[in-house]
Amino acid sequence: MVPGGERIGFYADILFLIDFAMDCLTLSLAGRAMKKPLRKKRLLLGAAFGGLAGVLLTAWSPPRIAEVIIGVLVSCIMTRIAYGRAGGFGRMFWESVTVWGAGAMLGGIVTFFMRLGTPVFLPGEDRFPTALILSAFSSLILSRFHRTRSAARTVRLCFTAGGERIETTALCDSGCIAREPIGGLPVVLVKERAAGSLAEHVRSADPTLRIRAVPLAGIGGERVLLGVVPDRLEIGGREREAVVAFDPEPGSYGGAEAIVPE
């Protein structure tokens, strides 16, 4: 519907493809800025949802306030689909705001290039430069904020093995890339003192446990830790598959008792 009340048509398939492509780029850039593990299938599903929502909103043309509310909900759902469980409402909110900021920045940049060679201040559109600057600035600030938070992000680690349940705080570390050599599973490092009697059962080669030897190489040299394949493992409330290796050395991992791959 144009301002004069006249209805105009649009190509839903072309609009969907444009929105889909922009949402793919937005989710990918925002995810990298927040150091999120990106999965192609999730990104495509999130972008497809955003593209479909864009087509439906264009066809419906709701009132402005309803359009804003729906846009916020769409951003939240896209974020949840693309990145998975956020670990709480507050984190999901900030991730959604970052996605929105990245989308606003990309939209402003695209509009800027479309305006090259034409006057920037057109009748009734003199707010464009301000909108571009604000969207780019907000996305930059939010991305840097997330990078600072994710640099020392901690999650709750829970695992069960041999009838024992261990729960502790783990530090997310992008440098934790160790793999268990038999099955290729990622390795979660846990201080022996946090594992209690379970670590003792592993050292005594308890036959009821699925014990693994995990070779590690780092600045301090090479070493081999004993670990176990847990019956159930949760990282930040999400069930994962990994080997838990027990570290007998004193100290802590940046104030945490465990390290999980970022």
Quote the domain boundaries for residue 185: 154-261
Segment 222-232 shows an average pLDDT of 88
Cα distances (angstroms) measured from residue 119 to each of 104, 125, 131: 21, 11, 16
DSSP assignment letter at 121: S
Name the maximum alpha-carbon separation found in the chain.
Answer: 82
Contact between 229 and 210 (Cβ < 8 Å): yes
* Res. 215 pLDDT band, cuts 50 70 90: confident
What is the residue-averaged pLDDT of the chain? 75
> Is 3 a member of any domain?
no
Look at residue 90 in the predicted model and tell me its pLDDT.
Answer: 67
Residues 161 and 121 in one domain: no
What is the chain's alpha carbon radius of gyration, rounded to the nearest angstrom? Answer: 24
Domain co-membership, 19 together with 140: yes
Is the pLDDT score of 112 beyond 80?
Answer: no
Note whether residue 193 is domain-resident: yes
- SS3 category, 53: helix
User: Domain count of the chain?
Assistant: 2
Q: Which of 135, 150, 165 is the last residue of a domain?
A: 150
Same domain, yes or no: 118 and 99? yes
Q: Rounded distance, CA 101 to CA 45, Å? A: 20
| Domain boundary, last residue among 99, 118, 150 | 150
Highest mean pLDDT among 81-85, 122-126, 136-140, 199-203: 199-203
pLDDT at 15 over 80: no
Q: Is the pLDDT of residue 125 over 70?
A: no
pLDDT at 45 over 50: yes
Q: Are residues 42 and 63 in the same domain?
A: yes
Q: Quote the CA–CA distance of 236 and 158 in Å, as a whole number.
A: 8
Lookup: tokens for 254: 């940046």
- Which of 150, 181, 216 is at the close of a domain? 150
What is the C-alpha to C-alpha distance for residues 189 and 187, in angstroms, rounded to an integer?
6
Query: Is the same domain home to 115 and 196?
Result: no
Q: Are residues 126 and 248 in the same domain?
A: no
6: in domain? no
- Is the pTM higher than 0.75? The answer reads no
d(CA 228, CA 237): 20
